[in-house]
Amino acid sequence: MKGLYLVTPDWEDTGRLLDVTAQALDAGAALVQYRNKTASAALRREQAGALLALCRSHGRPLLINDHVDLCLQLDADGVHVGGTDATVAAVRAALGPSRIVGASCYGELALAQAAQQAGASYVAFGGFYPSRVKVYEVSTPLHIVAQARAQLRVPVVVIGGMTVENARPLVGLGAEMVAAISSVYLAPDPFEAAREFTSLF
């Protein structure tokens, strides 16, 4: 796992969502997480199914944020869980050994260590910078990336207000993936924005 980790915004317009995601995949995005906190169950299934087909056509994995049942129904590639979602151990048990399980660890190395022990495929730290999408209670220190790389076996993802400029030092510290939402989906040229992120790696 290495490169641009694309996280979807809360858009109801499925056509627009697919168009921008396709541009990012064409530019080299390595992975897509479907995350829509405001969608109905029907819209969530529609969008996730369409994104899965798109990701399959590009040979890239699609993860579902939180919804293990939807991942299993669609035969998607895995699930990402946050601090208030199901536990990593429970998700790993439900999905089996072959699918991807990611875990939000915020600014806590102990959470990342526990997630790895419970079967996480990768750990995500953040937010590092102010985000246009989420409000974080604390700012994550940059040095946690180097600490995690020294102590963990699983890849490190960074998230939170990511731009190409402020992601660069985190990649330099060892982050394998940079997660982005607004910097790609709200960019004037999503293809070019994704290409610039990809060029960091």
Give the model confidence (pLDDT) of 185-200 as tens digits.
999 999 999 999 999 9
pLDDT of residue 136: 63
Give the model confidence (pLDDT) of 123-144 as tens digits.
999 989 887 766 666 589 999 9
Where residue 147 falls among pLDDT bands split at 50, 70, 90? very high
Residue 167: give its domain's CATH number.
Answer: 3.20.20.70
Phi, psi of 23 (to 5 degrees): -60, -45
Average pLDDT over residues 65-88: 94
Nearest to 34 by CA among 19, 21, 15, 23: 21
Mean pLDDT over the full length of the chain: 95
Query: 188: domain range?
Result: 3-199
Distance, in Å, from the CA atom of 165 to the CA atom of 162, rounded to the nearest integer, reads 8
Which residues are identified as catalytic?
35, 104, 134
pLDDT of residue 181: 96
> How do beta strands 122-125 and 156-158 pair?
parallel
The number of distinct structural domains making up the chain is: 1
pLDDT of residue 139: 80
Average pLDDT over residues 47-60: 98
pLDDT of residue 138: 58
Residue type at position 109: L
